Amino acid sequence: MLRKRNKRSALRHIQTEALERRELLAATALQVTVENLSPEGGLAATPFWVGFHNGSFQLGRQNRSADRFGGLELLAEEGDTSELAARFDATSRGIDATITAPAGFSGAPVFEPGETVSQIITVNNTLRDRYFSFASMIIPSNDSFIANLNAREYEVFDKRGRFVRPVTINIYGRDVWDAGTEVNDAFGGAAFSTEGGSSVDENGVIHRSTGLGDFIGTGLPTGTDLDSAFIGQTPLARITISLASRPSGPIDRTGPEATLIADTVTEVGTSEHEIQVIYSDPSGVDTATIGTNDLTITGSLGRRLRVRSVTTDAYPGTAPRTVVATYIVTASDGEFNVADNGRYQVSLNRRSVRDTVGNNNLSTRLGNFSVDVAARLQIQIENLAPEGGLAQTPFWVGVHDGRFDLGTVGTSASGFGGLELLAEEGDTSGVSERFAATSSGVDATITSPVGFAGAPVFEPGEVVTRNLDVRNPHLNRYFSYASMIIPSNDAFLANLNSREVQLFDARGKFRGRQTINIFGRNVWDAGTELNRVNGGAAFSTEGGIGVNETGVIHAHAGLNDFIGSGLPTGSTLTSAFSPGTLLARITITLIS
Q: What is the pLDDT of residues 545-555, one digit of tens each?
A: 666 788 999 99
Predicted pLDDT at 3: 34
Predicted pLDDT at 449: 83
Q: How far apart are CA 574 and CA 565, in angstroms?
A: 8
Q: What are the residue boundaries of the structural domains of the chain, listed by start? A: 4-243, 257-371, 375-590
How large is the C-alpha radius of gyration of the chain? 39
Q: How far apart are CA 441 and CA 432, in angstroms?
A: 11
Q: How far apart are CA 423 and CA 381, in angstroms?
A: 18
In Å, how far from its chain's centre is CA 239?
40
Examine the pLDDT at 281 and tell me if it is beyond 50: yes
Examine the pLDDT at 341 and tell me if it is beyond 70: yes
Predicted pLDDT at 577: 93
The number of C-alpha atoms within 13 Å of 68 and in the hemisphere containing its C-beta is 12
Q: How confident is the model at residue 251 (pLDDT cuts 50, 70, 90)?
A: low
Alpha helices in 62-214 (DSSP H): 72-78, 82-91
pTM: 0.60
Is the torsion defined by CA of 296, 299, 303, 306 positive or negative? Answer: negative
Mention every residue, 6+ apart, whose C-beta is less than 8 A from residue 118. 31, 32, 33, 34
Q: Of 45-49, 355-359, 424-428, which gets the smallest average pLDDT? A: 355-359
Q: Measured at the alpha carbon of residue 450, what is the angle toward residues 446 and 453, in degrees to the nearest 5?
A: 105
Predicted pLDDT at 356: 79
Over residues 334-348, the mean pLDDT reads: 90
Q: How far apart are CA 588 and CA 414, in angstroms?
A: 30
Q: How far apart are CA 402 and CA 410, in angstroms?
A: 20
CATH number attached to the domain at 257-371: 2.60.40.1220
**What does the pLDDT look like over 287-328, one tens digit per residue?**
889 999 999 999 987 889 999 999 998 877 677 889 999 999
Examine the pLDDT at 7 and tell me if it is beyond 60: no
In this structure, are residues 545 and 536 in contact, taking their beta carbons and an 8 Å threshold? yes
**CATH superfamily membership of 4-243:** F-spondin domain (2.60.40.2130)
Residues in the chain: 592
Predicted pLDDT at 535: 65
Q: How far apart are CA 380 and CA 418, in angstroms?
A: 24
**What does the pLDDT look like over 123-138, one tens digit per residue?**
989 999 999 999 999 9
Predicted pLDDT at 283: 80
By DSSP bridging, strand 44-45 and strand 131-139 are antiparallel
Same topology between domain 4-243 and domain 257-371: yes
Predicted pLDDT at 106: 59
Alpha helices in 212-251 (DSSP H): none
**What does the pLDDT look like over 445-501, one tens digit per residue?**
999 987 665 679 999 999 999 999 998 899 999 999 999 999 988 999 999 999 999
Examine the pLDDT at 24 and tell me if it is beyond 60: no
Over residues 243-254, the mean pLDDT reads: 65
CB atoms within 10 A of CB 564: 11
In this structure, are residues 275 and 329 in contact, taking their beta carbons and an 8 Å threshold? yes
Q: How far apart are CA 295 and CA 134, in angstroms?
A: 34
Over residues 532-552, the mean pLDDT reads: 71
By DSSP bridging, strand 167-172 and strand 154-155 are unpaired
Examine the pLDDT at 396 and tell me if it is beyond 50: yes
**What does the pLDDT look like over 121-174, one tens digit per residue?**
889 899 999 999 999 999 999 999 999 999 999 999 999 999 989 999 999 999
Q: How confident is the model at residue 571 (pLDDT cuts 50, 70, 90)?
A: confident
Predicted pLDDT at 96: 92
DSSP state of 572: B
CATH number attached to the domain at 375-590: 2.60.40.2130
Torsion angle defined by CA atoms of residues 259, 264, 270 and 272, in that order, rounded to the nearest 10 degrees:
10
Q: How confident is the model at residue 190 (pLDDT cuts 50, 70, 90)?
A: confident
Where is mean pLDDT largest: 69-78, 184-193, 535-544? 69-78
In Å, how far from its chain's centre is CA 461?
45
Q: How far apart are CA 539 and CA 134, in angstroms?
A: 86
Secondary element (H or E) of residue 436: helix 429-438
Q: Measured over all CA atoms, what is the biggest interatomic distance in the chain, rounded to whole angstroms? A: 114
- Going from the C-alpha of 64 to that of each of 158, 178, 179, 277, 306, the distances in angstroms are 30, 11, 9, 43, 45
In this structure, are residues 315 and 100 in contact, taking their beta carbons and an 8 Å threshold? yes
Q: How far apart are CA 320 and CA 356, in angstroms?
A: 10
The candidate with the shortest Cα–Cα distance to 180, out of 208, 201, 206, is 206
Q: What is the rounded average pLDDT for all residues in the chain?
A: 88
Q: How confident is the model at residue 586 (pLDDT cuts 50, 70, 90)?
A: very high
Q: How confident is the model at residue 268 (pLDDT cuts 50, 70, 90)?
A: confident
